[in-house]
A = this chain, B = another copy of it.
């Protein structure tokens, strides 16, 4: 029992942390509960039950499967579900009419064949990447409704009533989900996407700043007590591709809200994100030099420290301002001047390396510093590209 208590306490602690990290998750849970309670109220009302009978439970089912965290996802699923149900219901009724022509014996065979055909064809359709991205759920519901309508049409003669009931209940469930989702503390996936892209750029900026301090720290400074969190932060940028793409897909379902128009250029965010990731690969390489224990020759350091620090600070500022620009959707003019500054500094560094001041030192010791310098120059190019895309 002690173990159990410890486990429960542990779980409660985790739940509290989860809720504190993102209170929207708690609100979302309450919203789902609310939508379910609402839809079950519908069921308790006499007129609705009279109209739909047991099939009214489909409305409950719809709320559970349609309600998602993001408005875009809920809308996408709801619309997919309604339109797929409509199309499949109509086709199912037609299939029933066709099959009933073939007499008592032929009907189940023909119905089974139709189900096989539609099931196989639409499952194959779901493999097309462009279709999968936006209409995967709709295709599944299409197969589902078509099968339900055709199969049950064999036993129930009023296939039209059945199809109509299904469509109405699905529409009721979807509408309740969408309304609750949009009007009570909505969570817009578009805003989250914008935020994610901006935060990723910020992470790179804060890595650069931390790197500048850490790399040009002299051995005499001793072990600094700064937290090294900056060295972990950017790692998530490397693998954020999948979530960005799915968010951009969901964002396309969202209506205009706040500063976002309906046809907001979501693809542009993906382009920026790709450039950010490109920059993050360079930073990953930079990070590996922090790990290597090799000390830089002091003479070398004193020569390149100035231009490098300059590049780092200018590039870091550029990134931070770009992140801000994405968040506020306005382009501050100072970005361009920072980019100019960092380019000048990069040119200085290049010239310095060009003069070959380091002949007397051991090449192996220079390489890391030289590589750092050339990576910094690359990063300047990256920031410039990101800035153009913003």
Contacts and interface: CB of A to CB of B under 8 A. Distances in A.
A61 interface: yes
Given A123-B32, A147-B64, A151-B40, A358 B364 contact: no
A100 B357 CA distance: 90
Contacts of A32: 119-120, 123, 143
A306 interface: no
A151 B43 contact: yes
Which of A108, A123, A156 has its CB near the most chain B CB atoms (within 10 A)?
Answer: A123
A155 B358 CA distance: 89
Contact of A65 (B112, B144, B350): B144
Contact of A123 (B33, B358, B362, B371): B33
Interface in A333-384: 350, 353-354, 356-364, 366-368, 370-371, 373-374, 378
In the complex this chain forms, how many copies of it are found?
A: 2
A302 interface: no
Nearest to A162: B54
Nearest to A156: B54
Contacts of A281: 238, 281, 284-285
Given A54-B156, A350-B364, A363-B356, A120 B242 contact: no
A120 B363 contact: no
Contacts of A25: 124, 127
